[in-house]
Amino acid sequence: MAGVRKIAVLGAGNIGGTLAQRLAESDLANDVVLIDIIDGLPQGKALDIQESAPVIGFSTRMTGSTDLAAVAGADIVVETAGLARKPGMSRSDLLEKNAAIVGGHAEAVRLHAPQAVVIVVTNPVDVMTYWFRARSRLPAAHVFGESGTLDTARFRWFVAEALRVAPRDVTGFVLGTHGDTMVPILSLTSVAGVPLGRLLPADKIAAIVERTKKGGGEIVELLKMGSAYYAPSATQAELVRAVALNERRLLPVTANLDGEYGLKDLCLGVPVILGRSGVERIVEVELSPDESTAFRASADAVRSDLQILAALPTAPGVR
């Protein structure tokens, strides 16, 4: 299987570690490096994954490091590092703390891997994608966020569960923010080509939409400590695969908008063609009036957060 030479995963927590395992087992790269600030954590997880190679049968070489310079030469970088919001922490606090982490990583990529395609996972992902691009100065097409890929997976599963059908037969998109203002596009949702509205009543569809919006929170509540990482790492691996193998998949990601959907200078979840060069093209789909209004509300929510970031002393402009 043709892939890339090197993939770097920033952050060796549950998401980063699980993603590194999925990538190694998929043999998408010659080398996968796991990078984290905590000494021993990335090295230990990398070694643990590597020791499964004889059993699983993969050839990828896994390493771990606490040095950001280890991103050098990476073809693909996945940014998973960052803090989760804690009790008593305001949204502004979270934005500022994660902006500091992501900003430092972005500068390291600019210095050591300027040709890389970057997938941002850190929350709030729409804002952090914008921030990573601003600080790294990479081309807009080379920096995008996970966002709608995960939300769409959750939405598709909830539909499949309600209808008792194969999840792979459910198609659709969740666009906008990765948060309360996300927008499941019901007009484009179907099961093996049959429109969703013909299979489920409006009240059940509305309940699925609401559950999708709270999908991450539902898991946090069940776990009591921690958050989701199996489904997120699976969707991230799907994005890495699309880039590494130049699959030119049509997938929803957080992408930089430059006039598409009537919006500019922000990153928001939209359908794109994803290949080896990153976002090859943003696909503009027709939205219903209600969907269009909700999509605009998503854009407004992102702009509010960007205003917080703009007030930071190190806030750069995007070119």
> Are 113 and 72 contacting, i.e. CB atoms less than 8 angstroms apart?
yes
> Are 192 and 166 contacting, i.e. CB atoms less than 8 angstroms apart?
no
Is 178 an active-site residue?
yes
Residue type, 204: K
The alpha carbon torsion through 173, 175, 181, 186 (nearest 10 deg) reads: -40
Does the N-terminal peptide bond of residue 114 adopt cis geometry, omega within 30 degrees of 0? Answer: no
Q: Which two structure tokens, joined as six digits, stand for 104?
A: 């430092």
Backbone phi, psi, residue 114, to 5°: -65, -15
> Are 258 and 292 contacting, i.e. CB atoms less than 8 angstroms apart?
no
The alpha carbon torsion through 221, 41, 108, 274 (nearest 10 deg) reads: -50
Instruction: Pick the closest to residue 112 from 64, 62, 61, 75 (CA basis).
Output: 75
Burial class from Cβ neighbours inside 10 Å (0-12, 13-18, 19+) for residue 150 reads: buried
Q: Whole-angstrom Cα distance, residue 185 to residue 292?
A: 10
> Are 250 and 283 contacting, i.e. CB atoms less than 8 angstroms apart?
yes
| Residues 223, 228, 229, 235, CA torsion sign | positive
Residue type, 22: R
Instruction: Pick the closest to residue 142 from 127, 129, 124, 126 (CA basis).
Output: 129
Neighbours of 221 (CB within 10 A): 9
Kindly list the catalytic residues. Answer: 178
